[in-house]
Amino acid sequence: MSTKLQSMETETNAHAKEMSGSSMLIKALACEDVDVIFGYPGGAILPTYDEIYKTGIRHILARHEQGAIHAAEGYARVSGKPGVCIVTSGPGATNVVTGIADAMIDSLPLVVITGQVATTVIGTDAFQEADMIGITMPITKHNYQVRSVDELPRIIKEAFHIATTGRPGPVLIDLPKDVSLATGLFDYDKEVDLPGYQPTVIPNKLQIRKVVDSVTTAKKPVILAGAGVLHAKASEELARYVEQQQIPVVNTLLGLGSFPGEDELHLGMAGMHGTYTANMALHEADLLISIGARFDDRLTGNLAHFAPNAKVAHIDIDPAEIGKNVPTEIPVVGDAKEALKMLIEEQGERGDHQEWKTWLSGLKEEYPLWYVQDGETIKPQHLIEKIYEVTKGEAVVTTDVGQHQMWSAQFYKFNHPNQWVTSGGLGTMGFGFPAAIGAQFAKPDKPVVAIIGDAGFQMTAQELSILQELNLPIKIMIVNNAALGMVRQWQQLFHGERYSNSLFPIQPNFVKLAEAYDIKGMQVNELHELESALKEMFDYPGPVLMDCRVAKQENVYPMISPGKGQHQMEGVKP
């Protein structure tokens, strides 16, 4: 090596330090400002857990890897920071696959580290070996298998960069055991250099101008605000733009909280179980401005009938989403925050939307969300309304998927960003409770309530042990209708009332289950008990599980049936 090259290498490595791969990993997490890890140890990842023991970095031990990954998702959704999950090889790694897929479709930033067998035996069907690169390639934004300790710092830095920039998503690092034991130079000061990955952040000004001009000439404009507004931390900009142009707003399921639910220009959630007003706004609009939404099937209904009269402007940081499902006249590739700032700055002449807003206000008044509360049976919609009242709308709410999820989306008004945590695209049962654990770590000073079904709770109930260990003040509300509620509803409506394996006449005693973990358990059966029980629950300083027995045959309405358009909602009135 020449003297000049030796001098350059010495200068480059002057600030580098010799350490093991596992030490590099923990040091890199500290450099990335990671304050909590969710995980579960095992053989291939033991060197990393030994380093966790030495350094004292905060680690939350889940009781199942699925609990760890969903907790990391909840943390990411509420904090806006990447959730970090560490598990071992083989079954430990495959147990987080559902959570990775969930995070991918809902655009949640995760960095998932899976242990792997030593590089010398990869491909030999070694004990607890699984091909995590092959398994997770379709469900990660990117994945790595580390083959040399020298490349580990670069890979970790790239992983965090990829997970958190552009459209967020999960990145997996597969770490062989011998790499975590090997030593090398740790240099974390190098800049990320990914020429093939350059997300467009600043939108094209000409396209922004087209949106501005379209707003001026439109008579029936509507904004569809999706989760992309939240990921871009653009809620304030959205509120300012709406105030400036007086355009009504509808939300996707995952976009709830991006615009205040109590604002007079908020029309509610659109889609299969959205409000009639929100869906009719989309159906009748002459201009649809979609911001950070991907037009999934649960939102659009039958695409042949979706927004038939609207010019569509689609603002999204992921160009692959624009035009994928809905033809788009004005494509705007870029960050939602930057796009809204440019729209506000451009301003443009406000169009004449008064007649449109008056019509929509009339729809809101004539077709509100409804339910019939009769007798002492607790209606689930009433339960959600009461939770909203008791928490004054300030709680972080997490859910699984199904009827309770839809009722929560309908009847809890989300006025703040990042207080709604649910599994959207994948619809994952078992998500809600562990996600609440991650959410509590993200916002320790906020009340956190997991509103979950009796079936979904039993998929991840073992995570009660975390509440027992750490005394986390999470409130668990089991909306107990003794069924797979949404499955039962579909079997009633579309399968001749043949309730095939959807009813749960035999259930555990949830109160005793909570008490087995030294957690306060409560059961409510009748309406007159509810208000005082909720007050007791939320006044209690520690964790509480409430088993609330609700009307078993209650269905979620209104509803767009399969194959129908948004204007063909059923159950819009009692």
What is the enclosing helix (H) or strand (E) of 287? strand 287-291
286 and 416 together in one domain: no
Distance (Å) of CA 425 to CA 233, 421, 486: 21, 12, 16
Specify whether 177 is catalytic.
Answer: yes
Sheet containing strand 396-399, edge to edge, reads 420-421, 396-399, 448-453, 475-480, 544-549, 520-524
Distance (Å) of CA 386 to CA 25, 185, 364, 371, 531: 46, 57, 21, 14, 7
Q: Which of 37, 104, 33, 25 is nearest to 65 (CA)?
A: 37
- Predicted confidence at residue 15, as pLDDT, reads 64
Residue 489: which residues within 8 A CB-CB, separation 6 or more?
Answer: 403, 555, 556
Q: Please pick, among 486, 522, 537, 569, the residue that the annotation labels catalytic.
A: 486
Average pLDDT in the chain: 96
Tell me if 563 is assigned to some domain.
no
| 3-class DSSP assignment, residue 127 | coil
Tell me if 192 is assigned to some domain.
no
Specify whether 245 is catalytic.
Answer: no
Question: 358-380 pLDDT, tens per residue?
Answer: 999 999 999 999 999 989 999 99
Specify whether 128 is catalytic.
Answer: yes
What percentage of the chain has pLDDT greater than the value 90?
Answer: 95
What would the mean pLDDT of 520-531 be, rounded to a whole number?
A: 98
Residue 3 pLDDT grade (very low, low, confident, very high; cuts 50, 70, 90): very low
159 and 250 together in one domain: no
- Predicted confidence at residue 361, as pLDDT, reads 97
Domain end residue (candidates: 366, 401, 435): 366
28 and 174 together in one domain: yes
450 and 503 together in one domain: yes
Residue 349 pLDDT grade (very low, low, confident, very high; cuts 50, 70, 90): confident
On the question of pLDDT at 473 being above 90, the answer is yes
- Predicted confidence at residue 56, as pLDDT, reads 86
145 and 268 together in one domain: no
Specify whether 65 is catalytic.
Answer: yes
Q: Please pick, among 65, 129, 284, 321, the residue that the annotation labels catalytic.
A: 65
What's the structural domain count of the chain? 3
Domain end residue (candidates: 366, 390, 425): 366
Tell me if 565 is assigned to some domain.
no
Secondary structure, 3-state, 301-339 = CCHHHCCCCCEEEEEECCHHHCCCCCCCCEEEECCHHHH
User: Domain containing 280: what range?
Assistant: 205-366
Identify the residue whose tokens are 């999934």.
Answer: 296
Q: Please pick, among 128, 244, 246, 462, the residue that the annotation labels catalytic.
A: 128
The two three-digit tokens of residue 493, written as one number:
């409506």
Q: Give the other-Cβ count within 10 Å of 309's Cβ.
A: 11
Domain end residue (candidates: 366, 388, 415): 366
Q: Please pick, among 9, 17, 127, 137, the residue that the annotation labels catalytic.
A: 127
The CATH number given to whatever domain includes residue 291 is 3.40.50.1220
234 and 359 together in one domain: yes
Tell me if 41 is assigned to some domain.
yes
On the question of pLDDT at 463 being above 50, the answer is yes
The two three-digit tokens of residue 8, written as one number:
């350059």
- Predicted confidence at residue 12, as pLDDT, reads 41
Tell me if 359 is assigned to some domain.
yes
Question: 37-64 pLDDT, tens per residue?
Answer: 999 999 999 999 999 999 989 999 999 9
250 and 358 together in one domain: yes
514 and 439 together in one domain: yes
The CATH number given to whatever domain includes residue 473 is 3.40.50.970
Tell me if 197 is assigned to some domain.
no
Question: 184-217 pLDDT, tens per residue?
Answer: 999 999 999 999 999 999 999 999 999 999 999 9
280 and 405 together in one domain: no
On the question of pLDDT at 8 being above 60, the answer is no
Q: Which amino acid does the sequence have at 265?
A: L
259 and 230 together in one domain: yes
On the question of pLDDT at 11 being above 80, the answer is no
354 and 433 together in one domain: no
Alpha helices for 226-313 (secondary structure H): 227-231, 235-245, 276-284, 297-300
Tell me if 566 is assigned to some domain.
no
283 and 259 together in one domain: yes
- Predicted confidence at residue 351, as pLDDT, reads 87
Question: 84-109 pLDDT, tens per residue?
Answer: 999 999 999 999 999 999 999 999 99
Tell me if 100 is assigned to some domain.
yes
CA distance 257 to 198: 29
Is residue 274 within 8 Å of residue 564, measured between CB atoms? no
